[in-house]
Amino acid sequence: MKPNLYMPIKATIEHIVEETPAIKTFGLRPQEPIVFQAGQFVELTVPGLGEAPFTPSSSPAITSEMEITIMRVGRVTDALHDMKAGDTLGIRGPYGTAYPIEQFRGREILIVGGGCGVGPLRSLLFALFDDIDHFPGIIVRMGAKSPQDLVFREAAANRWGERGDKVDVLFSVDHAEPGWTGPVGVVTKILDPKYTDCNPQQGVAVMCGSPMMMKYVSGSLLERGYAPEDIYLSLERNMSCGVGKCGHCRMGQYHVCYDGPVFSYAQLQALPESWD
Tens of pLDDT, residues 167-222: 999 999 999 989 899 999 999 999 999 999 999 999 999 999 999 999 999 999 99
Q: How confident is the model at residue 157 (pLDDT cuts 50, 70, 90)?
A: low
pLDDT attached to residue 241 = 86
Position 85 pLDDT exceeds 60: yes
Per-residue pLDDT tens for 243-258?
Answer: 888 888 898 899 999 9
Domain parsing of the chain, residue ranges? 9-95, 101-234
Q: What is the pLDDT of residue 61?
A: 96
Indicate the CATH number for domain 9-95: 2.40.30.10
Q: Do domains 9-95 and 101-234 have the same CATH topology?
A: no
Give the pLDDT of residue 2.
45
**CATH, domain range 101-234:** 3.40.50.80
Q: How far apart are CA 120 and CA 125, in angstroms?
A: 9
User: What pLDDT sits at residue 228?
Assistant: 97
- What are φ and ψ of residue 142, in 5° steps? -125, 145
Sequence-distant (≥ 6) Cβ neighbours of residue 80 within 8 angstroms? 24, 26, 44, 46, 70, 89
Evaluate the CA torsion angle 247, 253, 259, 264 in order and state its sign.
Answer: negative
The Cα-based distances of 66 to 51, 72, 128, 214 in angstroms read 17, 19, 17, 26
| One-letter amino acid for residue 199 of the chain | N
What was the pLDDT predicted at 153?
Answer: 75
- pLDDT recorded at residue 274: 78
Q: Which amino acid is at 42?
A: V
pLDDT in tens, 102-135: 999 999 999 999 887 888 899 999 999 999 999 9
Question: The whole model's pTM is what?
Answer: 0.92
pLDDT in tens, 39-81: 999 999 999 999 999 999 999 999 999 999 999 998 999 999 9
Q: Which amino acid is at 246?
A: C
Residues 125-146 have a mean pLDDT of 93
pLDDT for residue 1: 45
The predicted structure's pLDDT at residue 156: 65
Cβ atoms of 67 and 30 closer than 8 Å: no
